[in-house]
A = this chain, B = another copy of it.
Amino acid sequence: MRVLMIGDIVGRPGRRAVLDNLSYIRNERDIDFVIANGENAASGHGITKEIAKQLYAAGIDVFTMGNHVWNKKEIITYIDKEKRLLRPANYPPGTPGAGFHIFETKLGHSVAVVNVSGRIYMQELDCPFRTVDHILEKIKDKTRIIFVDFHAEATSEKVAMGWYLDGRVTAICGTHTHVQTADERILPNGSAYITDIGMTGPRDSVIGVTTHLVIEKFMTQMPRRFEAAESPYQLNAVVIDVDPASGTAIKIERIFDLE
C-alpha cells in the first residue's frame, strides 16, 4: 500500500500544483491514499468549503490542518459535516471537528489519520504526546495503518514525537514550517518519519508569503498584511510504502517538484 502526504498547500500556486500534478502522481506512482495539509489553501489563510471540494475532486482524500484552521469562519460549521477535514486532536474538548478518523481505501484498507499540534512556540494546547496515546488506545483494535500529521514549530518537539511513536504508528510526518527537511527515514521500530514535509505553494516567497512584505515586517516592525505570493510553485510531499498487514512503513521518499 502506498500513501502520499502533501505539505501545507499555500494559496493559488499551491492549489495549482495539486490540480496540475496530483492525478499524474497518483497514477504514475500507484498511490492508494492521499493526505494533505490544507491550513493555508485559501490565499494562505485557512481553507474554504469550495476549495476543499475542488481539491478532493483533484485526488486528495483527507485534509489535515493546523493553527490556521479557523481563518475562514465557514469552516467552523463545515468541519462537523466533513469527515475528510481534520483539525489538531489536542485542541480543547468541545472544539468543532475531529482530530482523527479511520478511512476506508478503495482497496479495502482501513487507514487512520491523526492530526495533532505542537505546543512549543505555538498555542496553549493539551499535551500532544498524551493526546496521541489516547487516540491510539481508541483505535488499536480497528487498524494498524496509522498516519500522524504533527503540525509543529520546534524541531525538538517533532523529533521527540517521532521517537515516541516509533513502532506504534505507520508514519509521523511534520508540517507547519513550510520548509521540507532532508531527514526522512524509517525509524528502528518501523515508523516512517520526517520533521517537515514542506510547502506546496509559491516557490519564490517567504514560506508562501510575498517576500517583500515579510522583509518589511521584520525590518520595520510595522504591520503588513500577509498575502500568499504569486510565483511558480513547488510541490512538497512524501511517498510512504506500507505493509498493510502490520502497518509498518517500508519506505519513505521525498518529493520536491518545481513548476
Contacts and interface: CB of A to CB of B under 8 A. Distances in A.
Interface of A: 70-71, 76, 91-95, 119-121, 123-127, 129-130, 153-157, 159-160, 163-164, 177-183, 188, 195-196, 198, 204, 206-207, 209, 211, 214-215, 218-223, 254, 256
B219 A127 contact: yes
A53 B94 CA distance: 44
Contacts of A93: 130
B163 A215 contact: yes
A157 B177 CA distance: 11
| Residue of A157, A207, A221 with most chain B CB atoms under a 10 A cut-off | A221
A122 B177 CA distance: 16
What is the total number of copies of this protein in its complex?
4
B155 A177 contact: yes
A110 to B, nearest CB: 28
Contacts of A127: 92, 124, 126, 218-219
12 contacts: A124-B127, A127-B218, A127-B219, A153-B154, A155-B178, A155-B179, A156-B209, A159-B214, A163-B215, A180-B181, A180-B183, A182-B256
A95 B198 contact: no
A121 B177 CA distance: 14
Contacts of A204: 188
The interface residues of chain A, by DSSP majority, are classed as loop
A237 to B, nearest CB: 12
Contacts of A218: 124, 127, 129, 157, 160
A189 to B, nearest CB: 12
A215 B256 contact: no
A215 B166 CA distance: 13
Contacts of A179: 155, 159, 181, 183, 195-196
A164 to B, nearest CB: 5
A218 B155 CA distance: 13
| Residue of A123, A182, A215 with most chain B CB atoms under a 10 A cut-off | A182
Contacts of A188: 204
A70 B222 contact: yes
Nearest to A128: B218
Contacts of A215: 129, 160, 163-164
